[in-house]
Amino acid sequence: MRVKLSFIVASLLGITLGAASAYAAPSADEAAQTVPAPSAWAGVFFGANVPTGGWDLAEAPDSGIQPNASPIMGLRVGVMATDWLGLEVGAAFIPFTAPGDQSGTAIGIRGDLLLVPFEGAWTPYLALGAGGYLGSGDLGSDEDEEVHWGIGARGMLGDLVAMRVDARHNLTDSFNSGVASVLEFTVGVDFVFWRGAPSDVDGDGVADADDKCPDVPGVAVLHGCPDKDGDGVTDKDDRCPDVAGVEALGGCPDTDGDGITDAADKCPTEAGPASLQGCPPPPPDTDGDGIIDADDACPADPGPAALSGCPDKDGDGIADKDDRCPDQAGVPEEQGCLPKAVQDKFTGSIKGIQFATGSAKIKTSSFRLLDEAVGVLKTYPTLRLEVSGHTDDHGDDAGNMTLSENRANAVRNYMMEKGIDGARLVAVGYGETRPIADNKSRAGRAENRRIEFRMIGR
């Protein structure tokens, strides 16, 4: 058993040292996750010691007598070599009973490596170690080597006191050169008597355990992370790390304080809503004509900018409020009305404009009247003229419509040939749809075959 157990001890110690070397150079991220443990402590523990598998603690080899489950209590002292690796030694006192009304005591001496890979309010750890038992009592004296592994957790109750819970699995001498299992379940308290300075890789005064950016110097208020622009937003979270801004906008500036970053704000120095891309609402325009009320001479009635926002129903360029004839296009000389001569002779149905029968060819007898109309248009260059053609009801509707359009266009073309800009002339045909007399009589039909003039706005 001594040779076999010695081999197990050596093997487990090798595994322990291998695991320790694997942890010897944790990455920056791993170091940042570890909690700085107390640098040195002393503690007490107590619990239950439960042998299984035939623990041979008698002086006589292979006695077949195994100690019963019993209490265990002890002392331990430890140090943290790093934030993730601790070293601990301890001694345990085990008063036991055994079958046959026998009793005795065992002293356990052990050493452990504590591997602490995680952080948290309660820090879990893995224990690997070795030691031995010194037994005495009714079973005689015995010495057994042991190796063990275990798990535990430590939670700080204050700056100098920590509570611990542990579970250990010990492998030791059994009958017939076998290996026995001894389980331990303990609770205890550690008293910290010395703390080393916490690790601070980047030298910013924030311990690595509390430093969210342990490899880059930062500021304490941001848990050790840098903030180049000093706006209280860490560089890693700052969408504008070189320009001071506000936290709500990811560290980007908002000069006018309207909640829109300057980069996305079309009016960065004037506050405005997001719906207007950060620009202030425009001045009121009650009538919606595109002219603000402050500049609108008629703020309640829409009108063109050329008339300072005042309406012009007849489109003659004279505001209705100044137009004596607001429903009929006129000229400025007559305050928006037509000259009487024009009104009498060149509005409505124009007598004397005639065409060849069933044709749009203007009769020469009509030229004098048309020339007079051209003269009026040249005298009043602001006027525009609508020329409309009309027919009686003889013939089919479509043919009459085409004939009326062609006759209106013939008049328009004549005037254009005489020098009137085509943009001032509108030709339209109404066919037989707008009679002014009864089509049942010859006279009525003659009256319905006509050309009408209507002065229109700009």
In angstroms, rounded to a whole number, what is the distance separating the alpha carbons of residues 367 and 390?
19
Confidence class for position 341, pLDDT limits 50, 70, 90: confident
Confidence class for position 319, pLDDT limits 50, 70, 90: very high
Flag whether pLDDT at 327 surpasses 60. yes
Q: In 3D, which of 223, 227, 194, 228 has the Cα closest to residue 207?
A: 223
In angstroms, rounded to a whole number, what is the distance separating the alpha carbons of residues 21 and 23?
5
The architecture CATH gives domain 334-456: 2-Layer Sandwich (3.30)
The residue type of 87 is L
The residue type of 122 is W
- Residues 62, 39: contact at Cβ < 8 Å? no
Q: What is the pLDDT of residue 10?
A: 45
Share above pLDDT 70 across residues of the chain, in percent, rounded to a whole number: 91
Cα distances from 41 to residues 112, 192, 194, 380, in angstroms, run 14, 4, 7, 111
Both tokens of 101, joined, read 């009304």
Q: What is the pLDDT of residue 45?
A: 98
CATH 2.40.160.20, applies to 2-194: yes
Q: What is the pLDDT of residue 336?
A: 87
Q: In 3D, which of 129, 123, 124, 171 has the Cα closest to residue 151?
A: 124
Q: Quote the pTM value.
A: 0.43
In angstroms, rounded to a whole number, what is the distance separating the alpha carbons of residues 364 and 372?
14
- Residues 210, 222: contact at Cβ < 8 Å? no
Q: In 3D, which of 49, 89, 83, 84 has the Cα closest to residue 68?
A: 49
The model's pLDDT over 261-282, given as tens digits with 9 standing for 90+, comes to: 999 999 999 998 988 899 998 8
- Residues 270, 255: contact at Cβ < 8 Å? no
Angle at 303 between CA 300 and CA 309, to 5 degrees: 75
- Give the mean pLDDT of 313-319: 87
First to last CA, the chain: 120
Which residue spans of the chain are classified as CATH 2.40.160.20?
A: 2-194
In angstroms, rounded to a whole number, what is the distance separating the alpha carbons of residues 375 and 455?
14
Beta carbons within 8 Å of 449's beta carbon, 6+ residues apart = 390, 391, 392
- Measured over the CA atoms of residue 365, residue 367, residue 373 and residue 379, the dihedral's sign is negative
Which residue spans of the chain are classified as CATH 3.30.1330.60?
A: 334-456
Q: What is the pLDDT of residue 329?
A: 81
- Give the mean pLDDT of 135-154: 93
- Give the mean pLDDT of 40-51: 96
